[in-house]
Amino acid sequence: MTITAALVLFAVTWFMVFFVVLPLRLVTQGDAGETVPGTHASAPADFKLGRKVKVTSLWAIPIWAALSAFILWGGVTVRDIDVFDRMAPANGPLVSE
């Protein structure tokens, strides 16, 4: 895995975890009973972005490490999931029929 691939994998993992963490412990303005004029009642009452970023990072780093280890292990390759046998054999040239 190249450095660029590792960074892309981390970014994708981080944002996926971030979108899971965003709605956790969300208190809306409607729930709090204090709706600011001009906003929806479903808008966050006290949004703490820094806390969400920290929680996301604490979860994303081990998930990214596990995914990276699985990719670098190499026990499962693309050829293992080629159910239609469209790929060439690993040790020889493509044989035309």
Residue-level pLDDT at 93: 62
Which residues are bridge partners to 28 per DSSP?
Answer: 44
- Residue 96 confidence (pLDDT): 58
Residue 89 pLDDT: 72
Proportion of the chain in helix, strand, coil states, percent, rounded to 5: 55, 0, 45
Burial class from Cβ neighbours inside 10 Å (0-12, 13-18, 19+) for residue 18 reads middle
Q: What is the pLDDT of residue 77?
A: 80
Angle of the 3-21 helix axis to the 49-73 helix axis, nearest 10: 140
**Mean pLDDT calculated for residue range 23-47:** 88
Mean pLDDT of 41-55: 91
Q: Is the pLDDT of residue 97 over 60?
A: no
Better pLDDT: 80 or 95: 80
**Spatial distance between the Cα atoms of 87 and 96, rounded to a whole number of angstroms:** 12
